[in-house]
Structure 1
Amino acid sequence: MAVLAAALVVAAAGVGGAVGAVSGSTTTQAADSNPVEFVYVDDSTSEITFMRADGTTVGTGVSDAAIVGPMADLDDDGLLEASYVTTGAGVKAVDANGETQMLVEDGDASTGKVGVGDWTGDGVPEVVYADANNQLRYVNVSGSPTAVGGEEAKTVLGVTDFDGSGTTDVVFVGTSQNLHYYNGSTTNDTEYGNFANSDAAGAPADIYGDGELWVPVIDGSQYPEIVNSTGTDREFRETSNNTDKQPVAAVDWVGDDTHEIIHSQNAELAYTRADGTTRKVTDADGATVSIDESAGVARVVSRPADLSVSEFAATATGDQNVTVNVTTNHDLSELNVTLDGPETAALTLAAGDFEETGTDPYSYTATYDGSADGEYTATLDSAASAGDATSGNTDTATVDDRVPTVESVNLTDATNGDGDVEAGDEVTVNATVSGDVDSVTADLSAFDAGTVTLTGDGTGSYEANATVGPDATDGDQNVTVTASDGEGNTDSGTTGALRVDTENLSVALNDTRTVEEGQSVEFSPASVSGATGDVTYDWTFGDGNSSSGETVTHTYSASGTYTVEVTATDETGDTASDTTNVTVENPPVVESVNLTDATDGNGTVSPRDEVTVNATVSGSVDSVTADLSAFDAGSVELVADGGTYTNTTTVGANVTEGAQSATVTATGASGTEDSATTGTLDVVVDELTVTVGDDRTVGVNETVEYDASVAGATGDVTYDWTFGDGESATGKTVTHAYADTGTYTVEVTATDDAGTASDVTNVTVEDAPVVESAALTDATNGNGIVAPGDNVTVSATVSGDVASVETDLSAFDAGNVTLTSDGTGDYAANVTVGSNATDGDQNATVVATGNQGNTDTGETGALTVDTENLSVSLNDTKTVEEGESAKFSPASVSDATGSVDYDWTFDDGGSASGETVTHAFEDDGTYEVILTADDGSDDVDTASMSVAVTANETTIEGTTTTDSSTTTDPSTTTSEPTSGDGGDGGTNDPAGSSDDETDPVATATATATPTTGGSAGTTTARPTESTTATATTAPTSERTPTATATAAETATATTAEPGAENVPPQSPGEAPGFGTAAALLALLAAAALALRE
C-alpha cells in the first residue's frame, strides 16, 4: 500500500485529492495525539470513513461495505486497515488511502461482523469470520482461509484474551444467539443472549481501565449495555436511548479514561456513557455525522508502532551532487527535506524526488543535482504515516569539485630488475600527482599484495614498495594508481607490466608405446604446467634424429627400442624435460583364413548352430578378430596357438539369410592391421508367426482370456499385448476386462531370438443385460389365483445387450418359456397353467442372457396355484336335547387353497359362521345342518348332517328325582361339567359349563340324560343318569364361591328288570335312586364348605 499511501496522506495534509478527502482540520499530528478511533460508512457518500480523535474524518473512496469490522495494521506496513464484509459476502481490508485487499472471495463469507486479532501468535493480526456455512475461519493478507476448530458462529466480535486467562480467545455470537468464546480447545458459553440481533455488538474492550474486557451490545430493548466473559451485563441507559440495532464500538471518546459505546442513533453517530447519557458525535467542524446504520461502527483494536527514522544521511556523490537517504519503520505518506548550503533546495515525496525501496524498513533516496562546491545541511522537516509524524533530523555533506590529476605512474622490479618476479620478490610503484590530493593508492592484488597507499614527498611524487605474495597471478600484470581528494573526486593511471612467474615449468610425455617399422608416429607433450609466456619444445628420437615444435612426427626404419626426449623452455628461461620409450616391431600379416560349419558340417547353418573361424598370422601380433555380424555373433577374438588362431561361436537369432562370410583382422602392437575374408556358409532362418484368434463380443467389465499361438519361433518367445483402451499386458495367456462399450483392437507382438511378429483381433464390448423389472400376472380373471387351464403372463423390462429372455414356469407346469421382445426393451410371454402345476404361492425367475453370455435375473411376484377342489365333510348324525347348546365343526377339510370360510345353516332357521360354532335347538325333532366351505379361490364345497333333538326327561331344581335305576358310586362325583360327544360333527355344551359367575343366588341342578347301557345276560336297557349339581352362593363382600360336583362325570347305574336272575343283593346305599341323591348331597356339602371358607 506504499505508493497510494503517499498520495492519500498528502491529500490529508491539504494538498488535495478526491480520494481520501478529509473534513475539518488538515493538520497532520502525532498518532498518540490525534489517532484514528473508529470506522463507519458515511451515509451521504457511502464511503468507508475513518474518524480521528478530534473529529477529523478521512474518506477512503471505497463504497462496497455491508458491515465494517475492527481496525489494525493487517499487512505490517505501518498503516491502519479497516476490515469489512462486502455487499457480495466477501471479506476485504482498506487503508486510509483507499487501497483494498481481498481476503475472502465474495460468496464465501456470511454477512455477519468480523473480528480482528493475532490468533496465530505471529505478531500480525488476522481477520476471523464466519463463512457461508457458519464455520469459523481466519485469514491474513498473505494466506488462505483456515478453519478455527469446528466452531459455528453467526458473527465474530473479537480476537483477544477475553477471560484474562492468558490465552487468546475468539469471541463470537453462536448460532444459538448466545455469546461464546473459543480458546483453541474449549468453547465457553457465557449464556448471555440478549442481543437485538447477532451483529448488534462490538469488539471487546477494557471499558473501565482495570484490565477486564467487556463486549458492547445493543440489547433486545435497544439499550446499550456491556457483558463480560461470565455473562454479567451492565446497562448504559437513561429512560430511552433509542439506539439503532446495529454494530457498535467501545471507544474512550470523551477522554475520561472510561470507554463510551459509539453507536447509530436515528442514522447519526452517537455515544452513550456508563450513566446512560447519550450525545451525538460531531466532526471537527461541530456538525453531526450521518451514518449508514446497517454497516455499524468498529474500533481500532491494535495500532502499529510509532513512526521512527532509523537513518538520515546526506552524502556528496560527485559532480557537486548531494544524496539524502531516509530509512523508516513505516510506509511514508509524506516526506519533506530541506537542503541548505551554497544552494538551497526542497526535496519532497509528493513531488517524486524520493525513490522508495524495501519494506520494514522502508528506504527513501533523493539526489540533488547541485552546481556549487561547499558544505550542505539536510534537515528533515517532516515524515508522516497515517497521521503519525516526526521531524528534526539533520546531516551535512561537503561538495568539492576540484579533481586531482595523476600525471605519471611506474612499476619496477625491485629485486633484480629483469622484469620477471615471483613470490617473495619486491616491486616498487611510483606516481606523480597534482591538484587537490587526499590519498594515492595502488591496486596490487594481481601481485597478491592488496591495495597499498603511496607516500608523498611533498613535491607531488608518491611511492610504495610491496612484496609479491604466493597467490600472485602468473603472467604480465600491471597496477592501477588512484588519486582522491576525499570528497568523491578521483583520477587514475595504469602502470606498465611486470611478468609474474610463481610456478616451475613442468612437461610430461605419454607412457611407452609400440609402433611398426616404417610407421609415421606423432609425438606431443601429454601435459605442460608452470609455464610463463610462450614455450618452445626440442625433441630427440634415439636413432640420431631430432626435431622441434609442440607436435612432431617421426618414422623408424628398423625394429628395436628407442628413447624419445623432449625439452621445454618458457619465456623466463625455465626449462623442463621428459622421456618415453618406443618399441618398433614388424607389422602382422594374415597368411590364411577358413570358416566351417561346426554343427553338422553340411555347410548350412541356422540360429543356435555353431561356426568355427581359423586363421594363420605372422609378424608382430597384438590381437586377431573375426567379424561374424552376418551370423549375429558380433566381433569375436581368435585364440592363439602358435601362429594359428581359432574361435568357435554360436549363430545368433538375427542372422542374415544367404551365403555369408567372415572377415579376419590381425592387429599389431602399434595398431597396424592386416585382414582377409573367409569362404561362405549358407544361412537359413525360420519365420516367426503369431495368431490371437477370431473377433469376439464381450460384456462391460467381463474378464476375458486371450491366448497367443506361435510358429517358427527361434529360442524363447516373449509376448506383449495392447488392448486398444490404453491398457497393456505381457505373457502368452492374459486376461482383460473393458470398462466401456465400443469396438477395440487387441494386438499381440511375439518376439523371439530372430525377430518379432504381430496379430490383431477385434473385440466388441457391449453392456451386459439388466433385468430392470419382472412381473407375473393372472391373465384369466386377475384375482391372483390360477388353476389348470388358466392363463398367466410373464413380462419383463430388460436393458443392455440382450440375446434372449427366458423364465422357468415349471411350477405352473409350463416348462421353460422364452419371452418375446416388442423392440422397446419390454419382453412378454403368455402360457396356460398345466394340470401338474404345484399348489401354493409360486413366482418366476426371469433370466436375460447377453450375446456374450452375460446374464442377469429378476424375480416376479407370486400367484397362487390351486389345482385341487376343496372338500369338506361332517359326521352323519348327532343326538342332542332340546335347548342344549351343541358344538359343530367339520369332520374333515382337504385341498383348501389359503384360508377357508365356513357358513352353517340349521333347519330351525338359525345360521352361524366359523370353523367351530354352537347352536341350540329349542324343540325336539330331526333337523338338517348344512356346512358351506369357501377357500377364496372359487372353490366351494358343502356337507350336511342329521341332528336328532330329544325332549328333556328330568330336571331337578334343588332336589334329585330319579327312577328305579341306580347310579355310580357317589365318590366319583367331580365339580366339572359334563361334556357332550364333541368333534363328531357337533359337540354337547350343557348349561352351567361356563366359568362366568352370573347368578347371585345359589342353585343346584341335576339332569338325567337318557343313554343306553346294560350287560348281556345280566341287565336290560334302562336309562343312565348323568347328574350335574351346581351350588352358587349369594355374593358376600369378599367373594362369591361356586362349588360344582358331577357324579362320575356321567353317573351310570345298571338295573335289572324285576325277577331277573343273577342279580346280587343290594345294600341300602345301592337302592334305586340312592346314588343320585347321594351325589347331590355331596355337591351341596361341597358348596357349604366353600361358603365357610
Structure 2
Amino acid sequence: MADSGGSSASARRSAVAVLAAALVVAAAGVGGAVGAVSGSTTTQAAGSNPVEFVYVDDSTSEITFMRADGTTVGTGVSDAAIVGPMADLDDDGLLEASYVTTGAGVKAVDANGETQMLVEDGDASTGKVGVGDWTGDGVPEVVYADANNQLRYVNVSGSPTAVGGGEANTVLGVTDFDGSGTTDVVFVGTSKELNYYDGSETVETQYGGFANSDAAGAPADIYGDGELWVPVIDGSQYPEIVNSTGTDREFRETSNNTDKQPVAAVDWVGNDTHEIIHSQNAELAYTRADGTTRKVTDADGATVSIDESAGVARVASRPAGLSVSEFAATATGDQNVTVNVATNHDLSELNVTLGGPETAALTLAAGDFEETGTDPYSYTATYDGETDGEYTATLESAASAGDATSGNTDTATVDDRVPAVESVNLTDATNGDGDVEAGDEVTVNATVSGDVDSVTADLSAFDAGTVTLTGDTGSYEANATVGTDADDGDQNATVTASDGEGNTDSATTGALTVDTENLSVALNDTKTVEVGQSAEFSPANVSGSTGDVTYDWRFGDGNSSSGETVTHTYSESGTYTVEVTATDGTEDTTSDTMNVTVENPPVVESVNLTDATDGNGTVSPGDEVTVNATVSGSVDSVTADLSAFDAGTVELVAEGGTYTNTTTVGANVTEGAHSATVTATGASGTEDSATTETLDVVVDELTVTVGDDRTVGVNETIEYDASVAGATGDVTYEWTFGDGESATGETVTHAYADAGTYTVEVTATDDAGTASDETNVTVEDAPVVESATLTDATNGNGIVAPEDNVTVSATVSGDIASVEADLSAFDAGTVTLTGDGTGSYEANATVGPNATDGDQNVTVVATGNQGNEDAGETGALTVDTENLSVALNDTKTVEEGQSVEFSPASVSDATGSVDYDWSFDDGDTASGKTVTHTFDADGTYKVILTADDGSGDADKASMSVTVTADETTIEGTTTTDSSTTTDSSTTTDSSTTTDSSTTTAPPATTTSEPTGGDGGDGGTNDPAGSSDDETDPVATATATATPTTGDSADATTARPTESTTATATTAPTTERPPTATATATVTETTAEPGAENVPPQSPGEAPGFGTVAALVALLAAAALALRE
C-alpha cells in the first residue's frame, strides 16, 4: 500500500530495531539478567519509553497502548466504541485509558486489563470523553456528555455529577484551554462548534470546521510555547489545529485521505513539536505541521491496523514516578526470613534475591509476594530456611507502568537455638493458703532450656511489676511482695525466656487469689441514649472483688441481662432507672443504680449552602457563605465542615427550629465546586449527617457580573448592582446603558425614556486589571386602559340578580401582563379578562347570592410585565337581590265626608325609586307614596296599594276602612279673608221647649306646631315635603252653651233645656286653602228633680251631658281642621 515516503521510514525503523535487538542480546550475555521481559509488560522507566497513545487494534479488537519505541500493550478488552485520554484515574500508579463502550457507557482500563465501570450503559452519548482534574482534588475525572447531551463528570469512586455549561456531543479535554488560570471543559456543542466552559460561562470559539463531532482530540501544547491547540480533521479530511479564540492552522500537504475519526496530538518523532496521530485508510499515521504524512510503525517496523471508528487518544496526565518507601528483611523464627516492600505504585513486576547461608529468588510473578493496601502498596514474602546465619535481601527490580527501580538491600540474622520454658510455678510464700493480700510474699519458679539470655516474670497483677528470675542449670526463681494496688481475684504470672536475639518463649503459672478489700460496684450517675440505639452498660468502677464477679442488670422497662458489659435498646423515650447487682467469688454482693434518659435521635432533615455575599453562587476569599439545616429529634450540637472553604468546622446556631451559621471564606481556599457536610449530634453522641449542594469558588482572577437580562417599563427606575470576585485592592465601576447615558459606582439606577432593547455594560477595575459583563434590558410601554364597559349579559335591561350573567369588556394598550376586573360588588370576586390579540379583553361572570343591591360599577386594572398598572371604571348596572315588600295597617275607621290620609306602614328591599298606585274600592284611585281620599258614603271599603320599584319587582298590600255616618251637623263656610262666618244649627227633641236666647262665649284659640309622620294611621306627611319655615294653620275653636228653661201646660213635664254650641275655625295661611269654620250646637233638656211623667234618660239626656258633648264636638272639629 503506497505511503508517500513511508517505505523509507519503515526501513530505517527496521534497521534501528535490529541494532537494538543485537545490543539487548549482547547485554544479556554479559549482565546475567534476571529474566526476559515480553513486549507487553511494563518494565521501562517513565520518560525512557512511556506510553504515548491508545487505540483499538483492528486485528484483535483490543484496546491497545503504544509506547514511544513502537512496542504495544494489549489490554484484552474489546468493548470500546471510542477511546479517550489516559491518566491515573484510581491513584494506583498505572495509566488507565477511558473509553465509551459499544453500549453507550463509560469505562476505564489499565495495562493489566483491569476495567472499571464509570457510567452505566445507555447513560452516555456516543461521543468522545475528556480527562482532567475538574474538581481540583488532585485526582483526574472523566468528563462526558450524557444521553441528553448534558456535561457530567465522574471518578472511579463516585457517581456522575452535573458540570453545567451548554449541550455537548463530544468532550475533548479538561484543561486550562485559554490560559486564564481556570480549568475548562473543552467540548463540541450540538451545533458542531468548538466551545469551552470554565465553571461559570460557556465560551463559543465560533470554530465549526469539524468533519464530525468526534473528528478531534484532546488539547495539547503543539509548539511547546504554553498555548493549547485542539487537533481536528476538517470537513475536507485535512488535519488542522484550532485554539481557544477559534483560530485554525492547517497541517496540510496535498493528500486529504485522512479518516474522519478521533485523533491525538503527540510528539511522536521527538522534535519538540507535536504531530497529529490519526487513522488513514484504517492504519495508524501521523501528520506534521508542514503537512507531511507518514505511517506509524510498531517496534518491528510494520504498519499498524486500527479500528478507525474508535480513533486515537493521547495521555492527558502521567502518575508520579515509582518509588520504594520500605525495603526490609526480618528473621521471623524457625529460621525464616520475611521480606517487606512498600511502594507508591501497584507493581506489575517485583524480583528480590536472598543471599547468605542459603540463596533464593522471590518474585511477584511466581506468587511469592502477598499484596495488601493502596498507596502505599505493601508486598510481603517469607522464605522458609533451614540454616542459621546472616541473610541479605536485594531488590533486583520493581516495575509499574513503564517505571522501574532496583538496588535496595537489607540483612537479617537467623538464630534457631531458641529458649524453651519447660515449667513454671507461682506459690504463696507467706502462709501457703493460696490467698494473698498487700504485703504478702509470692515466689515464681521456672525451668528453662535452650539458649537463655534472661528469664522474667510479669507480676503486675500483684502490683509487683516485672521481676527477673535468677538461677543456673536450667532452674530459675524470684520472690516479690504483693503491692497495695494488686488486682483482686485469681491472678497468675507470665514467665518469659529470651535468647537476646529476638527469640522468646513464654508460659503462664497457676493462679493465686488476691483479696484486698470488700466488693464495691459503681455506675455513672446518668446516661442519655436515643430510641432504637443499642446502648452499652458496664460498671464505672468495681473494687474489692475476690474471684470472679457476676453482674445482674435491670433496665427499668421490664428487661434484664447479665454480664459485666451488656447492651440494651429502649423502644420508647422516657426516663428509666438501671440497676446492677455484683457478686464476687466470696459471695460479696453490692448494687448501684443510675438514671437513663431516652430521647429521639437527631435527624438532619434538610441542608442548604448559599452564597451570602451576592447570591450568585460563586464565592471568593473574603466572601461569606451561609449554612442552614433543619434538624429534628434530640440535638446537642449541629456543626458544618467548611474546611473546603478554608473555614474549618463551625457550629450552627438554632433559630426558630432551624440551625444556621454565616462564615467568611478563607484566603487559602482552592478553586472548584465545594460543598459542606452538616452533622447533628444527639445528647448521647449519635450523629446524623447530610451534605449540601456545591458552591463554586473562584480565586484571584477579577470577575464582575451584573445579573440576568430583564424587562422594564418606560420611565421605570431600575437599580443595577455589580458583583465582583477575585478582586485585588479597591474596585471602581463604570456603566453604560446603551442610550447614551453612563454612570459610576457599584450600585446605580437608570430609567429609559423610550421603548426598545438596550445593552447595559459594567466594567470593573481593580489593582490588577479589568473585567466586564453585560446584560440586555428590554423596555416596554406601560399599560393603558383605553375604555371599560359593563353589560347585562342576561336580558340587557341593566338590572341583574343572583345567577344573572354580566360581561366586562376593556380596550387596553401598551405592555400587558394581565387584565383583571374587581366584581366583588357582584359577589363574583376578581376575574381575569382574556385578550384576543388586538387589545380587546373580555370576561364573563355570574352574579353571586351576596351581591350588593343598588347601582354598582367595576374597576378594570391592567398590569404590565414590570408591575406597572393602569385602571378604568365601567358604567353601572343595578343589582337587585331581594323582592320588593310593602305593608299597610290592618284597619282604619273614618267618617263619611272626612278627608283621610293614606301611606305605607313599611316599604323594604326596594331597588331604585318606587311607584305607588292606590285603589279605594269606591271607584277612585290615586298615585304617590302619601295620598288623601274622602269617602262619600258610610260602609266598609278595601283599600289596595300596588308598589313597583322599576326592576320588575312589584308587591301589593290592602287594608279595611270603615266609614261611619256623621250624626253631628258640621257646616263649613269658606272665606278668603280673616273674617269668620259661623252658622248655628240647633237640634231639639220634640218634647223640649227651647228658649230663643243664646249666649255665646268668647272664642278660645289653640295654635299647634307642625306635625308629620311616615305611614301609620292618622299621621300626616306632606307628599311634597315641608321646610322648617312652614307653619301649620292656626286652629280656632269656639264653644257656646245656652241653658234654656220653659214651662209647659203640665208642670210635671217641664224640663230645663241646655244648649251648647261648638265652633271650629281654621285661619288662612299662604300654604293652605282658605279658612274653614265649623260650628256644632247641642241642646239638652233636663227635668226637675222628682218631676213626673219623665221618660227614662239615655246617657245623652243626663244632666251636664250637653256641655261634655259640645266639648267633644269642638275637639273633633279642631282635629278635622288640623287634617285639612
In the superposition, the TM-score normalised over structure 2's length comes to: 0.45
Tell me how far 1:475 sits from its aligned partner. 2.8
Tell me how far 1:288 sits from its aligned partner. 1.3
Deviations 1:397-431 (A, max 9, x none): 22211122335545466778876543465655454
Structure-2 separation of matches of 1:658 and 1:383? 37
Deviations 1:444-475 (A, max 9, x none): 23224444444667x65655565544542213
Structure-1 separation of matches of 2:877 and 2:567? 113
Does the CA-based 8 Å contact 1:967-1:1054 persist in structure 2?
Answer: no
Sort the Cα spacing of 1:273 and 1:406 in 2 relative to 1 into closer, same or farther, 3 A: same
Does the CA-based 8 Å contact 2:972-2:1076 persist in structure 1?
Answer: no
Tell me how far 1:143 sits from its aligned partner. 2.2
Deviations 1:985-1039 (A, max 9, x none): 9999999999999999999999999999999999999999999999999999999
Q: Trace 1:471-482 onto structure 2 (pairs within 5 A).
A: 471-482=485-496
Q: Which runs of 5+ in 1 are unaligned?
A: none
Sort the Cα spacing of 1:683 and 1:271 in 2 relative to 1 into closer, same or farther, 3 A: closer
Sort the Cα spacing of 1:227 and 1:848 in 2 relative to 1 into closer, same or farther, 3 A: closer
Sort the Cα spacing of 1:1029 and 1:421 in 2 relative to 1 into closer, same or farther, 3 A: closer
Tell me how far 1:55 sits from its aligned partner. 0.6
Tell me how far 1:249 sits from its aligned partner. 0.7
Structure-2 separation of matches of 1:948 and 1:562? 95
Sort the Cα spacing of 1:525 and 1:1062 in 2 relative to 1 into closer, same or farther, 3 A: closer
Greater displacement, 444-453 / 1079-1088: 1079-1088
Greater displacement, 646-655 / 430-439: 646-655
Greater displacement, 1023-1032 / 823-832: 1023-1032
From 741, 744, 762, give the equivalent of 1:748: 762
Does the CA-based 8 Å contact 1:70-1:83 persist in structure 2?
Answer: yes
Sort the Cα spacing of 1:906 and 1:332 in 2 relative to 1 into closer, same or farther, 3 A: farther
Sort the Cα spacing of 1:95 and 1:527 in 2 relative to 1 into closer, same or farther, 3 A: closer
Sort the Cα spacing of 1:785 and 1:340 in 2 relative to 1 into closer, same or farther, 3 A: same
Greater displacement, 92-101 / 887-896: 887-896
Sort the Cα spacing of 1:1068 and 1:364 in 2 relative to 1 into closer, same or farther, 3 A: same
Aligned-pair RMSD on alpha carbons?
A: 38.5
Structure-1 separation of matches of 2:699 and 2:263? 97
Greater displacement, 1028-1037 / 194-203: 1028-1037
Does the CA-based 8 Å contact 2:136-2:671 persist in structure 1?
Answer: no
Tell me how far 1:735 sits from its aligned partner. 59
Residue 1051 of structure 1: SS of its match in structure 2? Answer: strand
Structure-1 separation of matches of 2:1085 and 2:66? 130
Q: Trace 1:430-469 onto structure 2 (pairs within 5 A).
A: 430-454=445-469, 462=476, 466=480, 468-469=482-483
Residue 1075 of structure 1: SS of its match in structure 2? Answer: helix
Deviations 1:222-266 (A, max 9, x none): 222222112222222223353222111111112222222111122
Structure-2 separation of matches of 1:640 and 1:144? 33
From 1058, 1077, 1083, give the equivalent of 2:1114: 1083
Tell me how far 1:274 sits from its aligned partner. 2.1
Deviations 1:493-550 (A, max 9, x none): 4445443222147999999999999999999999998465799999999999999999
Deviations 1:312-333 (A, max 9, x none): 2222222222222222222222
Does the CA-based 8 Å contact 2:973-2:981 persist in structure 1?
Answer: no
Does the CA-based 8 Å contact 1:19-1:61 persist in structure 2?
Answer: no
Tell me how far 1:209 sits from its aligned partner. 2.1
Structure-2 separation of matches of 1:326 and 1:319? 21
Residue 13 of structure 1: SS of its match in structure 2? Answer: helix
Sort the Cα spacing of 1:854 and 1:492 in 2 relative to 1 into closer, same or farther, 3 A: same
Tell me how far 1:43 sits from its aligned partner. 1.6
1:1064 paired residue number = 1095
Tell me how far 1:731 sits from its aligned partner. 67
Sort the Cα spacing of 1:416 and 1:284 in 2 relative to 1 into closer, same or farther, 3 A: same
Structure-2 separation of matches of 1:815 and 1:348? 90
Does the CA-based 8 Å contact 2:930-2:1022 persist in structure 1?
Answer: no
Greater displacement, 827-836 / 525-534: 827-836
Sort the Cα spacing of 1:79 and 1:868 in 2 relative to 1 into closer, same or farther, 3 A: closer
Does the CA-based 8 Å contact 1:1019-1:1054 persist in structure 2?
Answer: no
Does the CA-based 8 Å contact 1:952-1:1009 persist in structure 2?
Answer: no
Does the CA-based 8 Å contact 1:24-1:285 persist in structure 2?
Answer: no
Sort the Cα spacing of 1:169 and 1:521 in 2 relative to 1 into closer, same or farther, 3 A: closer
Greater displacement, 780-789 / 145-154: 780-789
1:384 partnered with 2:384: no
Sort the Cα spacing of 1:1019 and 1:992 in 2 relative to 1 into closer, same or farther, 3 A: farther
Deviations 1:1033-1062 (A, max 9, x none): 99999999999999xxx9999999999999
Structure-1 separation of matches of 2:605 and 2:179? 108
2:994 paired residue number = none
Does the CA-based 8 Å contact 1:887-1:989 persist in structure 2?
Answer: no
Tell me how far 1:377 sits from its aligned partner. 1.6
Deviations 1:164-205 (A, max 9, x none): 222111100111211111011111111111112211111111
Deviations 1:657-715 (A, max 9, x none): 99999999999999999999999999999999999999999999999999999999999
Sort the Cα spacing of 1:150 and 1:637 in 2 relative to 1 into closer, same or farther, 3 A: closer
Greater displacement, 612-621 / 394-403: 612-621
Tell me how far 1:436 sits from its aligned partner. 1.0
Residue 121 of structure 2: SS of its match in structure 1? Answer: coil
Residue 30 of structure 2: SS of its match in structure 1? Answer: coil
Q: Which runs of 5+ in 2 are unaligned?
A: 1-15, 984-1003
Deviations 1:553-578 (A, max 9, x none): 99999999999999999999999999
Does the CA-based 8 Å contact 1:107-1:132 persist in structure 2?
Answer: yes
Does the CA-based 8 Å contact 1:968-1:1052 persist in structure 2?
Answer: no
Greater displacement, 529-538 / 973-982: 973-982
Residue 841 of structure 1: SS of its match in structure 2? Answer: strand
Tell me how far 1:296 sits from its aligned partner. 0.9
Tell me how far 1:809 sits from its aligned partner. 32
Deviations 1:711-758 (A, max 9, x none): 999999999999999999999999999999999999999999999999
Sort the Cα spacing of 1:583 and 1:464 in 2 relative to 1 into closer, same or farther, 3 A: closer
Sort the Cα spacing of 1:743 and 1:401 in 2 relative to 1 into closer, same or farther, 3 A: farther
Sort the Cα spacing of 1:740 and 1:1055 in 2 relative to 1 into closer, same or farther, 3 A: farther
Greater displacement, 827-836 / 447-456: 827-836
Sort the Cα spacing of 1:564 and 1:255 in 2 relative to 1 into closer, same or farther, 3 A: closer
2:1082 paired residue number = 1051
From 589, 597, 622, give the equivalent of 2:611: 597
Sort the Cα spacing of 1:379 and 1:272 in 2 relative to 1 into closer, same or farther, 3 A: same
Q: Trace 1:202-351 onto structure 2 (pairs within 5 A).
A: 202-240=217-255, 242-351=257-366
Does the CA-based 8 Å contact 1:965-1:1022 persist in structure 2?
Answer: no
Which of the two has higher C-alpha Rg? 1
Structure-2 separation of matches of 1:174 and 1:166? 23
1:724 paired residue number = 738
Greater displacement, 337-346 / 991-1000: 991-1000
Deviations 1:916-940 (A, max 9, x none): 9999999999999999999999999
1:795 paired residue number = 809
Structure-2 separation of matches of 1:259 and 1:595? 45
Q: Trace 1:618-629 onto structure 2 (pairs within 5 A).
A: none
Tell me how far 1:357 sits from its aligned partner. 1.7
Q: Percent identity?
A: 92
Residue 14 of structure 1: SS of its match in structure 2? Answer: helix
Structure-2 separation of matches of 1:308 and 1:656? 28
Tell me how far 1:211 sits from its aligned partner. 2.0
Does the CA-based 8 Å contact 1:1041-1:1091 persist in structure 2?
Answer: no
Residue 154 of structure 1: SS of its match in structure 2? Answer: strand
Structure-1 separation of matches of 2:678 and 2:388? 93
Does the CA-based 8 Å contact 2:1058-2:1085 persist in structure 1?
Answer: no
Tell me how far 1:38 sits from its aligned partner. 0.3
Tell me how far 1:276 sits from its aligned partner. 2.3
Does the CA-based 8 Å contact 1:51-1:57 persist in structure 2?
Answer: yes
Greater displacement, 875-884 / 551-560: 875-884
Deviations 1:381-412 (A, max 9, x none): 22222222222222222221112233554546
Tell me how far 1:114 sits from its aligned partner. 0.7
Sort the Cα spacing of 1:846 and 1:375 in 2 relative to 1 into closer, same or farther, 3 A: closer
Sort the Cα spacing of 1:783 and 1:1005 in 2 relative to 1 into closer, same or farther, 3 A: farther
Structure-1 separation of matches of 2:375 and 2:949? 99
Structure-1 separation of matches of 2:163 and 2:1031? 79
Q: Trace 1:123-272 onto structure 2 (pairs within 5 A).
A: 123-240=138-255, 242-272=257-287
Does the CA-based 8 Å contact 2:1005-2:1036 persist in structure 1?
Answer: no
Sort the Cα spacing of 1:802 and 1:137 in 2 relative to 1 into closer, same or farther, 3 A: closer
Q: How many residues are paired up?
A: 1088
